[in-house]
Amino acid sequence: TKMLFNDSIMDRKKVIDIEDRGYQFGDGIYEVVGIYNGRAFLLDEHLERLQRSAKELKINIPYSVNRLKEQLLELVKINGLKEGVIYLQISRGVAERWHQFPVEEVAPVLVAYTKEEETLKEEEDNGATAILTQDIRWLRCDIKTLNLLPNVLGKQKATEKQAVEAIFHRGDIITEASASNVFIVKGSVLYTHPANHFILNGITRRKVIDLCNELDLDVREETYSVSDLLSADEVFITATKLDIVPIIRIDEVLIGEGIPGKYTTRILQAYRDIIRETSNE
Ligand code: PMP
């Protein structure tokens, strides 16, 4: 398959320098964009978030975002990708290894490639399990940076327990999960952690909030505790391409009746409808 390297679409090959700051420091940003039926879903939203991450870390996106968008769509087309994701990352660039930003103008390094990936249909329909673990990340989780070690360790712990996700708690507050946002349902109200520096403001999360508003569901961006989570009627997680997965057990605790709940099912249905509409346009 082909990859995007800076502004060129070329054969996928090894191109990264050993002094790339993304490689050495995790000094870079990324996005993962879902492709459904050959169509990029919410691409503008992802590119907007990329620009925000770039600004927060003072990384210059090497060319215009319009051009980048064209190149990403071209890459999907050339690779013939139908179901999967685009992975895009921009590192601060290649420079002699010192922690501070390089002094001279160093060009950021942009790479993107496509990856086949199916939606987790079985988990979406039947629910999945999660574990709880401490949120040991820094205080700028709102920036989508390459530094993902706490997320990696969390996901590994979940995998060892045959769970799909590790849900993070910072003290008594549930923040999000290792690679997804978390929603709970209590009675007829949905709660999800507010979009501040403790979480990544997921593109799927935002779409689900919009959807709840359209469906006239009461959704509140408020913090909730570990015991709120474990005693919730329903829990679900959201992320690109994973979409919406009901969580039916967390560690040894069954959530609700241990099956996907009615709010989750309704939201998932509506979300699938949006994807279907946008990918058939
Ligand atoms: N939180 C974290 C920590 C993530 O890594 C992700 C997935 N990139 C999400 C939330 C979900 O974000 P999105 O819906 O934009 O994929």
CATH classification of the domain holding 38: 3.30.470.10
Residues of the domain holding 177: 121-279
Last residue of some domain: 88, 116, 144?
Answer: 116
CB of residue 50 inside a 6 A radius of ligand 1: no
CB of residue 33 inside a 6 A radius of ligand 1: no
**Rounded CA separation 113/123 (Å):** 26
Tell the residue nearest (CA) to atom 4 of ligand 1. Answer: 179
Same domain, 111 and 125: no
Same domain, 94 and 208: no
- pLDDT beyond 80 at 280: no
CB of residue 130 inside a 6 A radius of ligand 1: no
Instruction: Of 100, 155, 115, give the one whose Cα is nearest residue 3.
Output: 115
Same domain, 164 and 221: yes
Last residue of some domain: 87, 116, 145?
Answer: 116
Same domain, 20 and 99: yes
> How confident is the prediction for the chain on average, in pLDDT?
97
Q: Which of 170, 200, 210, 267 to mutate to test the pocket of ligand 1 (most atoms within 8 A of CB)?
A: 200
Same domain, 139 and 275: yes
Tell the residue nearest (CA) to atom 5 of ligand 1. Answer: 179
CB of residue 79 inside a 6 A radius of ligand 1: no
* pLDDT score of 281: 60
Same domain, 246 and 152: yes
What is the average per-residue pLDDT within 94-98?
Answer: 97
From the CA of 99, how far away is ligand 1's center (Å)?
Answer: 27
- pLDDT beyond 90 at 279: no
So which residues are the catalytic ones? Answer: 144
Same domain, 56 and 111: yes
CATH classification of the domain holding 224: 3.20.10.10
Last residue of some domain: 116, 136, 160?
Answer: 116
Tell the residue nearest (CA) to atom 8 of ligand 1. Answer: 179
**Largest alpha-carbon pair distance within the chain?**
60
- Model pLDDT for residues 4-41, shown as the tens digit of each residue: 999 999 999 988 999 999 999 999 999 999 999 999 99
What is the average per-residue pLDDT within 254-263?
Answer: 97
- Model pLDDT for residues 215-252, shown as the tens digit of each residue: 999 999 999 999 999 999 999 999 999 999 999 999 99
- Model pLDDT for residues 169-217, shown as the tens digit of each residue: 999 999 999 999 999 999 999 999 999 999 999 999 999 999 999 999 9
From the CA of 16, how far away is ligand 1's center (Å)?
Answer: 25
CB of residue 145 inside a 6 A radius of ligand 1: no
Cross-strand pairs, 28: 91
Same domain, 145 and 35: no
Instruction: Of 75, 93, 100, give the one whose Cα is nearest residue 85.
Output: 75
* pLDDT score of 105: 86
Angle 193-196-201 (CA atoms, 0-180°, nearest 5)?
70
Residue 175 CB contacts under 8 Å (≥ 6 apart), including other chains: 135, 141, 168, 169, 193, 198, 199
- Model pLDDT for residues 119-168, shown as the tens digit of each residue: 888 999 999 999 999 999 999 999 999 999 999 999 999 999 999 999 99
Same domain, 163 and 224: yes
Instruction: Of 12, 46, 61, give the one whose Cα is nearest residue 206.
Output: 46
Instruction: Of 161, 125, 187, give the one whose Cα is nearest residue 252.
Output: 161
Same domain, 262 and 224: yes
Torsions phi, psi of 276, nearest 5?
-60, -45
Same domain, 108 and 134: no
Domains held by the chain: number: 2
CB of residue 32 inside a 6 A radius of ligand 1: yes
From the CA of 85, how far away is ligand 1's center (Å)?
Answer: 13
Same domain, 217 and 191: yes
